[in-house]
């Protein structure tokens, strides 16, 4: 992320951010990292209250650890709800932002990365025990939102996309006037065409991908919701493509699907990847036939990396992709996905044009813009001069 060259002209505002985890793995965790480092670069004193915080010590961020388990969610969530609330009461400074419904305190801002009232998430594993845990977790999340959103008395509920903002207004009409949208931001320097060419070539070599082998990148966990099955099924009708999968899920199940279709040799499994930029650079297209997203950070990163996008028109993607101009809007029909992949395989100039336009569109969603909008919000809430 590029750092501003100088501090803001008005006094900076002290900010406390409360979150479960902050780090490099996971879309929300990475967004928080970008926000906190950006705020520090603007001169804001920053306090973090969280279970884990993987940020450079030289960043000058004050970190107070909440000692709480990370799993299972049905235990970890109520534990943090209580322990985190006590920690906020003790260590809060300045403007306080809670990342979702995770504490019971009054706060100034609630950052809404996901509105759980929308409905349950499809379990990423098919075992009865896991499905039961997911169902119980969904109940806790919905109850937690109803309790915490109202007990927070926040001046702003900051949603990561217009779609999420509309969901919050629908399910919490009494809070509708406080809902605002600040889009997630991406590091348009780190995610840029050719930025990680050497690492991309090494990755392709390690995956035994030929120089001319066409690669579609699939990045994300919760594979059922994100559409890994139709992505694999599309390979049967798109013989020139190999699918590279980065993320965690029930791998044996999807490997079996690939074997049944006879495409197992054209699927590569990376597991969880902390640094996803080389994955995009190693690919020729990005594929995500997801049934639901809040913002789809990976789609924006892929677009910034100059990849043609094949993604479902979910929250966030609708604000980024215009069908046929900078990518293709798809559904979960494998035949339709394969048709688009084959169209890209036939026309390298089309791949280049869509990727170039995707990059241009993604530049509007930079981390600098995201940090600047939070900076203005915090100053306004703190009553800073000129805000």
What are the pLDDT digits (tens) for 139-168?
999 999 999 999 999 999 999 999 999 999
Q: Of the candidates 355, 343, 341, which has an alpha carbon nearest to the alpha carbon of residue 303?
A: 355
Angle in degrees, CA 37, 226, 344, rounded to 5: 95
> 58 exposed, middle or buried (CB, 10 Å; 0-12, 13-18, 19+)?
exposed
* Inter-CA distances, 380 with 94, 141, 160, 366, Å: 12, 30, 19, 22
Average pLDDT (256-265) is 98
Is the model more confident about 189 or about 119?
189
Q: Does residue 183 have a pLDDT over 70?
A: yes
Q: Which of 192-196, 235-239, 312-316 has the lowest mean pLDDT?
A: 192-196
Q: Which residues on neighbouring strands pair with residue 47, listed in sequence order?
A: 16, 62
Q: Which residues contact 69 (CB under 8 A, 6 or more apart)?
A: 75, 76, 79
Residue 129 CA to residue 86 CA, distance in Å, equals 32
**pLDDT band, residue 133 (cuts 50/70/90):** confident
Q: What percent of the chain has pLDDT over 70?
A: 93
Contact predicate 53/84, CB 8 Å:
no
How many helices and strands, by DSSP H and E, does the chain display? Answer: 14, 13
Which tokens hold the place of 244?
Answer: 């590279």
Q: Of the candidates 92, 109, 117, which has an alpha carbon nearest to the alpha carbon of residue 159?
A: 109
Q: Which of 70-74, 307-311, 313-317 has the lowest mean pLDDT?
A: 70-74
Instruction: Give the pLDDT of residue 118.
Output: 87
Instruction: Give the pLDDT of residue 386.
Output: 54
Q: Of the candidates 110, 102, 94, which has an alpha carbon nearest to the alpha carbon of residue 179?
A: 110
Task: Look over the chain and give the mean of its residue pLDDT values, rounded to a whole number.
Answer: 92
Average pLDDT (226-240) is 97
Q: Does residue 5 have a pLDDT over 50?
A: no
Which tokens hold the place of 158?
Answer: 């900051």
Q: Which residues contact 192 (CB under 8 A, 6 or more apart)?
A: 304, 305, 306, 359
Instruction: Give the pLDDT of residue 127.
Output: 66
Instruction: Give the pLDDT of residue 122.
Output: 56
Domains and CATH numbers, the chain: 15-185+366-381 (3.40.50.2000), 197-365 (3.40.50.2000)
- What does the pLDDT look like over 44-68, one tens digit per residue? 999 999 999 999 989 999 999 999 9
- What does the pLDDT look like over 323-352, one tens digit per residue? 999 999 999 999 999 999 999 999 999 999
- What does the pLDDT look like over 86-117, one tens digit per residue? 999 999 999 999 999 999 999 999 999 999 99
Angle in degrees, CA 184, 305, 121, rounded to 5: 45
Which tokens hold the place of 69?
Answer: 């388990």
Q: Which of 1-5, 214-218, 363-367, 376-380 has the lowest mean pLDDT?
A: 1-5
Residue 384 CA to residue 349 CA, distance in Å, equals 51
Q: Does residue 228 have a pLDDT over 90?
A: yes
Residue 18 CA to residue 88 CA, distance in Å, equals 8
Instruction: Give the pLDDT of residue 1.
Output: 47
């Amino acid at each position: 992320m590029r750092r501003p060259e100088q501090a803001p002209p008005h006094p900076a505002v002290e900010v406390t951010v409360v979150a479960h985890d902050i780090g490099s793995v996971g879309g929300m965790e990475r967004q928080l990292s970008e926000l906190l480092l950006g705020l520090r670069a603007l001169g804001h004193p920053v306090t973090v209250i969280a279970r884990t915080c993987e940020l450079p010590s030289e960043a000058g961020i004050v970190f107070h650890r909440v000692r709480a388990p990370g799993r299972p969610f049905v235990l970890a969530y109520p534990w943090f709800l209580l322990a985190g609330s006590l920690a906020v009461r003790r260590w809060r400074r300045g403007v306080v932002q809670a990342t979702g419904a995770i504490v019971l305190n009054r706060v100034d801002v609630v950052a809404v990365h996901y509105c759980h009232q929308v409905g349950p998430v499809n379990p990423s594993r098919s075992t009865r025990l896991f499905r039961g845990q997911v169902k119980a977790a969904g109940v806790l999340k919905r109850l937690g939102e109803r309790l915490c959103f109202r007990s927070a008395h926040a001046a702003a509920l900051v949603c990561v996309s217009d779609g999420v903002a509309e969901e919050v207004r629908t399910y919490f009409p009494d809070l509708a006037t406080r809902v605002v949208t600040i889009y997630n931001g991406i590091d348009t320097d780190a995610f840029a065409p050719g930025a990680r060419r050497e690492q991309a070539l090494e990755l392709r070599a390690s995956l035994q991908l030929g120089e001319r082998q066409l690669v579609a990148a699939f990045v994300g966990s919760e594979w059922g919701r994100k559409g890994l099955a139709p992505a694999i099924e599309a390979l049967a009708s798109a013989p020139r493509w190999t699918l590279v999968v980065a993320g965690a899920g029930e791998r044996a199940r999807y490997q079996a699907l690939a074997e049944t279709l006879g495409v197992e040799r054209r699927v590569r499994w990376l597991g969880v990847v902390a640094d996803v930029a080389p994955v995009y650079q190693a690919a020729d297209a990005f594929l995500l036939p997801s049934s639901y997203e809040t913002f789809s950070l990976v789609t924006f990163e892929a677009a910034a990396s100059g990849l043609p996008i094949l993604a479902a028109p979910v929250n966030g993607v609708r604000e980024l992709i215009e069908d046929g101009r900078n990518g293709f809007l798809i559904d979960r029909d494998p035949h339709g996905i394969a048709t688009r992949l084959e169209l890209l395989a036939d026309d390298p100039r089309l791949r280049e044009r869509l990727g170039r336009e995707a990059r241009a569109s993604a530049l509007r969603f930079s981390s600098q813009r995201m940090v600047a909008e939070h900076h203005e919000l915090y100053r306004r809430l703190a009553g800073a001069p000129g805000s």
